[in-house]
Chain A
């Protein structure tokens, strides 16, 4: 599939909107967002709280449907897929890493990593080898039989990453993956993401921290559900010293 649409960007989002209705209030979480991400990029998505980062990530991960606009993944329009097709895309193309890990508490590390294989179409043979290989890549071969409550926060997030990369997804999405971790562990986890990126994995990370973004090549800043700036890491670092950013038309840049 990737080869068939090699001329398309991996992710192409055009005019994406998301409106939540809570009681009588309407919340515009995304207001016509455009974004294009190519294969083997490592992108940081930043922005103040409530700017729509998680909402965007959920759309990119096919966990949620946009209210309007279109999302093409490898040239396929995800917004037109039914529940079963979306499940298949989530299973085969997407690896999602959550801030709160989301491991099943009663299952071992190995069983947690194997989870996506349960819902895979065929190819489940040699599952244990695959799960062990994934655990090996995150450096947890010595914790295979441990349950989540027997692991540290960093180790739990490694199990979650192993689960996310098990099916060799096209896109690895991480929404504040280090939000619950201390700085030393954060560095470890980011080194892991970089390693995966070096091996060819497309990685998109939502973060509040410049140190985290520093590991990426590209930084996309959101504000009020729109892209505020989309710069290479070098440009972004340079722009942080200015009072306002060039791309901004609606006010001051967020004080990151």
Chain B
């Protein structure tokens, strides 16, 4: 019905109309620009945060769980003293032996000790006591020598694993396996060298020198009431709920808690954190979406206002176009196209500003938003929303223009 020439001129006219009223068009589109820009920036920040958090979670492992002592909420301090709620080695053993949904488990206890090689002595290195499952749980194996075995722990062997930083700091030969070092005054044989690849968890960096000894040996070198935590893997992330319940059941029994008693420990699975975080991120994204909706509404009213002004300013032009054969539909489409163009230009500028803001976010040191980025769907959605705003709010002025009586329009002053 409408020939290609119509579309070419309608689009050209839409742009030239904006160009002819640059400042007015800019002020009108400001609502849309600000709305789209701020939402784009928020989505970029969220995308960055999500990417960051999820990669960190994933590096830890989705089926991973932690057990740590925890004083019940609102409970008097004297009723639950630390020494009473601390985890015990026997509890770790019980979980290992009884929980069918636990694939691997290790207690971890840390003690600061002086470490000494033939040529060098370093004070206060963190020495961790672990089971052989630690390799599986933390996904860290040896690059040299042998890993820990269950026998090391059961026989309380005086063996240790160290990392490359420790080798360097202690001036040990590059192939340190088989060398002997003094840990807390006791003689240990280096059984192997652990991979340096570190699992970083929220910047908690266990870099520099690391020394590991069998858990049973570490217990002997600790105070009487020492702190230990338990880390483990469920057989799969899908059974996390049941597995958590299993662990809780065993621990409650070990601690002699009757059904009504409050829990004196926490079992935390990573997958739950992930799920919670995803819900949170989705919630924030929805709020950002709501903000864009409101700003587009405000922007849209501005668009409607300016289009009404445009229609009344150009009444004679509309009359003339009708006099030379423009159908109501042609007039309607022309004004609608103008409103949509205005909104799309606004949306485009908004996205540009949003991207700029996203770039700024990645450069903030310490903000952990290096991966902030505007995803394609956000760009597409911004354009769709902008266009829809143009259509919805441009419709009324466009209909008004289309309905004008040609002769009355031509008589308009």
Contact = CB atoms under 8 A, between A and B. Distances in A.
A127 B8 CA distance: 13
A61 B410 CA distance: 13
Most chain A CB within 10 A, of B9, B16, B320, B322, is at: B320
A64 B407 contact: yes
A87 B325 contact: yes
A251 interface: no
B317 A104 contact: yes
A90 B326 CA distance: 9
B381 interface: no
Given A83-B327, A120-B3, A115 B321 contact: yes
A124 B16 contact: no
Contacts of B323: 61, 63, 90, 96, 102
Given A58-B407, A91-B325, A120-B325, A104 B320 contact: yes
B16 to A, nearest CB: 7
Contact of A102 (B9, B320, B328): B320
Interface string B323-336: 11111111000000
B201 interface: no
B407 A90 contact: no
Contacts of A96: 323-324
Most chain A CB within 10 A, of B16, B20, B319, B410, is at: B410
B273 interface: no
Main secondary structure of the interface of B (DSSP, over half): helix
B5 interface: yes
A90 B324 CA distance: 6
Contact of A92 (B5, B20, B325): B325
A88 B406 CA distance: 14
Interface string A126-143: 010000000000000000
A115 B4 contact: no
A148 interface: no
A117 interface: yes
A118 B322 contact: no
A163 B324 CA distance: 9
B324 A91 contact: yes
A25 B254 CA distance: 101
A24 B325 CA distance: 34
B316 interface: yes
A146 interface: no
Interface in B393-413: 405-407, 410
Contact of A106 (B20, B327, B410): B20
B277 interface: no
Contacts of A106: 16, 20
Contacts of A88: 325, 327
B2 to A, nearest CB: 8
A116 B335 CA distance: 18
Contacts of B80: none
Contacts of B321: 115, 119
B16 A119 contact: no
A121 interface: yes
A8 interface: no
A118 B9 contact: yes
Contact of B327 (A87, A102, A115, A127): A87
Interface string A59-70: 001011000000
Most chain B CB within 10 A, of A117, A118, A163, is at: A118
Contacts of A119: 6, 321, 324-327, 330
A121 B3 contact: yes
Contact of B406 (A63, A84, A92): A63
B324 A83 contact: no
Contacts of A121: 1, 3
A206 B405 CA distance: 22
Contact of A84 (B316, B324, B328): B328
A87 B327 CA distance: 5
A121 B323 CA distance: 16
Most chain A CB within 10 A, of B1, B325, B327, B410, is at: B325
Interface of A: 58, 61, 63-64, 83-84, 87-88, 90-92, 96, 98, 102, 104, 106, 115-122, 124, 127, 163, 167
Q: Which 3 pairs between the two chains have the least Cβ-Cβ distance?
A: A91-B325, A119-B325, A87-B327
18 contacts: A61-B323, A88-B325, A91-B325, A102-B320, A102-B410, A104-B320, A106-B16, A106-B20, A115-B324, A116-B324, A117-B5, A118-B3, A118-B326, A119-B6, A119-B330, A120-B325, A121-B3, A122-B3
Given A102-B320, A118-B330, A124-B5, 5 more contacts: A84-B328, A88-B325, A96-B323, A102-B323, A119-B324
Interface of B: 1, 3-6, 9, 16, 20, 316-317, 319-330, 405-407, 410
